[in-house]
Amino acid sequence: MTKFSANLGFLFTEHSLPDAIREAAKAGFDAVELHWPYATPADEVKAALVETGLPVLGLNTDRGDVVGGENGLSALPGREADARAAVDQAVDYAAEIEATNVHVMAGFASGQEAHATFVQNLRYACERAAPHDIGILIEPLNRYDAPDYFLSTVEQGQEVLADVGDERAKLMFDCYHMQLMGGDLTNRLRKLLPVIGHIQFASVPDRGTPDHGEVNYEHIFALLSDMGWEVPLGAEYKPTQPTAGTLHWMSALRD
């Protein structure tokens, strides 16, 4: 049976973070994942997790100066100290709530210097995460929603991971982003499965519930099941109403 994780950066945002965890459990999700939980004390999040029994599959490093247009720090030459402080914050928070992964956000950059900076910061992240048995994720973002983001294709992600040289670092494969950046999800999932650490989904192109649009998720989820994928799949879509009213897809796609 396919398992699902609620990405609380998109779902149940009408609630406080601890209450969003409780709502995800009530709705039948098997796990949760977070974006930037840092405004909520970790002990409050941990209490809700213990109460519900839900695991946390991941959280993101801080984006930096969002008002100033930043969306991650780790590929920005000259910002190494800020990037590593964001990694420290994320790993410490993840350890306290027993999260499985930290997604290290690259930011807006390009070129070989940015690549080298990202690789070095990811090596640092792997070192920081290792004592806590936390995985490190990188995520390609599509060029329509995140133009100029450093990491936009899985092929580029593979190059980064090869240069990092640490099995702790893996790809976050978001089917929504990957469909917009070349499609061919079936073959790419088969090929990349050994280096994928987490999988997310939403409809394409509107990033809504996964029961319409270009991608046949019934096929994708059956494929993943056949390949032995057992980690809950991350629902990261934009609800058009309070989340509880958008979950009609879950029962149809769970089997």
Q: Please name which of 46, 43, 132, 136 lies closest in space to residue 87, comparing C-alpha atoms.
A: 136
Paired tokens of 66: 């969002």
Choosing from 14, 139, 159, 218, the catalytic residue is 139
Amino acid at 201: F
Q: What is the DSSP string of the chain?
A: ---EEEETTTSSTTS-HHHHHHHHHHHT-SEEE-S--TTS-HHHHHHHHHHHT--B--EEPP-S-TTTT--BSTT-TT-HHHHHHHHHHHHHHHHHHT-SEEE--B-B--SHHHHHHHHHHHHHHHHHHGGGT-EEEE----TTTSTTBS---HHHHHHHHHHH--TTEEEEEEHHHHHHTT--HHHHHHHHGGGEEEEEE--TTT---TTSSS--HHHHHHHHHHTT--SPEEE----SS-GGGGTTHHHHHH-
236 has catalytic annotation: yes
Choosing from 14, 96, 167, 236, the catalytic residue is 236
44 has catalytic annotation: no
What dihedral do alpha carbons 34, 36, 39, 42 form, nearest 10°? 50
Active site (catalytic) residues: 139, 236
